[in-house]
Amino acid sequence: MSRSTSLLQQMTIFMTVVTGGGCATMYYLMQKNFAKSEYYRQALEQLNSNSTAMASLGAPPLKIHNIHLSDRHNRIDHSSAQLKIPVTGSKTGGYLYTTSTRDSLTNRWHLQQVVLKLRKGDTVEIFNNTQSEE
């Protein structure tokens, strides 16, 4: 009886390790896919080229953290993408809120808005391409 209990314990430990490793791998691959996406890279390029936002963060150095996958601000479908990207510099940190739309003809992403919201409450508008319909 103790032999079968020991075997069950070993199987449980093995399955726990395999499941945990699989979840960690999936999380890593999802983060990597976000980092390679066009809408993500365009937003970070806008941040890096905005001297006011970079100075507010105390960057360089600029650290881009992993996206919180369960955050309701992170929504992506076939025609639009909204992200909340955590960033920090040497002074403070905050979130880079981005909105992008996909052109159905060219299948390319176009930034609509990029806003940096700092921890201390300040907001820096980095890019705004929203056009009013007349």
Planar angle of CA 117, 121, 126, nearest 5 degrees: 30
Spell out the domain ranges in the chain.
1-36, 38-133
Planar angle of CA 37, 117, 50, nearest 5 degrees: 65
Q: Taking the domain 38-133, which CATH number applies?
A: 3.10.450.320
For residues 124 and 97, is the Cβ–Cβ distance under 8 A? no
Q: Which positions ≥6 away from 133 have C-beta within 8 Å?
A: none
How far is the C-alpha of 110 from the C-alpha of 57, rounded, in Å?
25
Q: So what's the pLDDT on residue 1?
A: 52
Q: What does residue 104 show for φ and ψ, rounded to 5 degrees?
A: -70, -25
Q: So what's the pLDDT on residue 132?
A: 45
Q: So what's the pLDDT on residue 28?
A: 86
For residues 60 and 51, is the Cβ–Cβ distance under 8 A? no
pLDDT tens for the chain, 134 residues: list them: 577 888 899 999 999 999 999 998 888 888 888 788 999 999 999 999 999 999 999 988 999 999 888 889 999 999 999 999 999 999 999 999 999 999 989 999 999 999 999 998 899 999 998 754 43
Beta strand 93-103 with 80-88 is antiparallel
